[in-house]
Amino acid sequence: MGGARQRGEDLFSCSVKLPRVGAGMFPGMEWGEIRGGYLSFDYKVHFDEPQMIIWMTQEIGPALAAVLAIFGILIAPLVQPAWLLSLLVILFSCVLLLIKGTRYVAVSIIVTALLYGLGLFSLAVFASTLAIVVLGEFAFRVTGETPKSYLAYIVTGSVGAVLAMAYLGVFSPLTVLIGALVAVFLRAALVGREDALMIEALGVAMAQQLFFEIGYSVDLQSLLLALVIALVFGYLSYRFKAADLSGLFSGAIIGLLLIVFADVRWFFVMLVFFILGSATTRFKYREKIDLGVAQSHGGVRGYLNVFANGLVATVGAVLYGITGHPACVALFLGSVASAAADTVASEVGVMGGTPHLITTLRPVPPGTNGGVTLLGEVTGLGAAAFVSLTAWALGVADPFIAVVGTLAGFIGTNLDSLVGATLENRGVFGNAGTNFIATLGGGLFAAVLVLVL
């Protein structure tokens, strides 16, 4: 290896021979030719002090934030009252505000510490949130901020949070996993936003506090199995372009909650809806493109679509896990049947000729909000019946609730059309808001009917 500093120049030149390696290991290299299985190259490094300082702060900042989080967790049980610990963490976090790459990490820590000091979060949740957000973010950055880095975020954040809670004498793995999934979901959904980390920290803390207070008990083996199933389902959805990253993680959250609070059969009922929706979205897709009514992004679902169609059902499953009341089964099934009926009616019905506006029955162009066709009505009812029969076959619902679910699905899809024709066309709601109202209406209709009858 040889090199010489050129007088009057701000660079260093050298020639070396190394075994063939990835160019990414040596940023700034100017590669030469390959001789005899070795890479021969010259590289020049500019001694630009401002750039070097920026690089160092970007690399050191996340590590410093991780150290601060660990320090805060270690001293947490020793510093009382809560406002005093909160004040100390805020003061130490001010150092991170001076480092460009960690300013929003610092803001997220400060906001979380402030809310802990006000008594809104328990000490266990505060420590777990620090571990998930700060350690998870550190792992995400050092692994290259690629899609695979989300797995590093989940593993590192979860392990750190479990250890933090164990240090405080608390064992709540469900709380931790919910927090970790919410964290990666928000990171994927808010990518590009400068305030993403602050929102992420608040979301993680609030979600964890909710499930920590619920105190639902589940054995660790079942919880980990549910996590694996939910993540595999989410990954396959992403892999086959049925969902984006935000849809992957929002779907994983819903899947985990369904399996943990109810059981895997409820997840399978939701899976039937997902398969029906994905299949009918691709039904005559090129013809839909020509008509201008095809789903955007090739039918890839994001978190808005996932939550609009799955949130009410998830609430039903969680309530069933807590209460065991059959009305919760009806809420769940009525909501899923409505989502399935609406999706199938929209995707298949649009090919059924000229639609008519549900409020006036006047002909409207295909794709008009509130437009219905006979084909859409029939296939929507069929989708609701199929989902309900699946729930009955799996033992999730009895025959009466299955019939109620089918009727609720038909009600829900027409409620979607009614809201679309009135409120959505006026810009009051977007498509996600309309879908949510439809699933809520169908779910509540089913639950009330079961309670009354």
Q: What are phi and psi of 362, to 5 degrees?
A: -80, 145
Collapsing DSSP to helix, strand or coil, 182 comes out as helix
Query: pLDDT higher for 229 or 349?
Result: 229
**Is residue 140 located within the same domain as residue 6?**
no
Query: What is the per-residue pLDDT for 4?
Result: 42
Instruction: Say which residues have a Cβ less than 8 Å from residue 78's Cβ, sequence separation at least 6.
Output: none
Does residue 264 fall inside a structural domain?
Answer: no
User: 């399996």: which residue's tokens?
Assistant: 259
Residue 403 has pLDDT above 80, yes or no: yes
Domain that holds residue 145: 51-215
Q: Which residue has the tokens 């949510």?
A: 436
State the Cα–Cα distance between residues 195 and 214, nearest whole angstrom.
29
Looking at the structure, do residues 77 and 157 belong to the same domain, yes or no? yes
In this structure, the answer to whether residues 31 and 150 fall within a common structural domain is no
Same domain for 29 and 103? no
40 DSSP β-pair partners: 17
Confirm whether 123 is domain-assigned.
yes
For residues 177 and 149, state if they share a domain: yes
Residue identified by tokens 């019905």 is 349
Residue 106, φ and ψ in degrees, nearest 5:
-65, -45
141 lies in a domain? yes
Q: Which two tokens stand for residue 183?
A: 């964290």
Those residues whose C-beta lies under 8 Å from the C-beta of residue 122, and which sit 6 or more positions away, are: 209, 212
Helix or strand or coil: residue 428?
coil
Does the pLDDT value for residue 251 go beyond 60?
yes
Helices (H), 220-372: 220-239, 245-261, 264-281, 285-291, 303-323, 326-349
pLDDT for 428: 87
CA distance 341 to 344: 5
What's the structural domain count of the chain? 3
- Same-domain pairing of 197 and 92: yes
Task: Return the CA Rg of the chain.
Answer: 27
> Who wins on pLDDT, 224 or 68?
224
DSSP state at residue 243? B
Q: Is residue 234 domain-resident?
A: no
| pLDDT tens-digit readout, 233-243 | 999 999 988 88
The confidence score (pLDDT) of residue 100 equals 67
Q: What is the pLDDT of residues 143-198, one digit of tens each?
A: 988 999 999 999 999 999 999 999 999 999 999 999 999 999 999 999 888 888 88
Tens-place pLDDT, residues 317-345 = 999 999 999 999 999 999 999 999 999 99
Residue-averaged pLDDT of the chain? 85
* Count of Cβ atoms closer than 10 Å to residue 167 Cβ: 15
End of a domain among 192, 215, 238? 215
Predicted confidence at residue 33, as pLDDT, reads 45
| For residues 45-53, average pLDDT | 45
| Res. 1: pLDDT tops 80 | no
pLDDT score recorded for residue 95? 80
**Residue 228, in any domain of the structure:** no
Cis geometry, peptide bond prior to residue 77 (ω within 30 degrees of 0): no
Stated pTM of the model: 0.82
Q: Given this model, what pLDDT does residue 32 score?
A: 46
> Is 103 found in the same domain as 20?
no
* pLDDT above 50 for 436: yes
User: Are residue 288 and residue 334 in the same domain, yes or no?
Assistant: yes
- pLDDT tens column, 94-132: 887 877 667 778 888 898 999 999 999 999 999 999 999
Looking at 195, 215, 235, the residue that finishes a domain is 215
- Tell me whether residue 29 is in a domain: yes
Distance between CA 305 and CA 432 in Å, rounded? 6
pLDDT digits (tens, 9 = 90+) for 261-300: 999 999 999 999 999 988 888 777 777 677 666 666 666 8
Q: Are residues 40 and 21 in the same domain?
A: yes
CA 285 to chain centre: 27
Q: Are residues 316 and 435 in the same domain?
A: yes
Average pLDDT in the 75-100 region?
86
Question: Which carries the bigger pLDDT value, residue 28 or residue 393?
Answer: 393
81 contacts: CB under 8 Å, gap ≥ 6: none
The Cα 337–Cα 339 span in angstroms is: 5
Secondary element (H or E) of residue 38: strand 38-44
60 lies in the same domain as 199: yes
Beta bridge partners of 357: 371
The pLDDT score that the predictor gives to residue 313 is 97
pLDDT of residue 258: 97
In this predicted structure, which of 98-102, 211-215, 250-254, 352-356 has the lowest mean pLDDT?
98-102
Residue 252 lies in a domain: no
Following DSSP, what letter does each residue of 10-55 receive, concatenated?
S-EEEEEEEES--GGGSTTEE---EETTEEEEEEE----HHHHHHH
- Are 40 and 74 contained in the same domain? no
pLDDT of residue 67: 85
Look at residue 248 and tell me if it is in a domain: no
Q: What is the pLDDT of residue 298?
A: 62
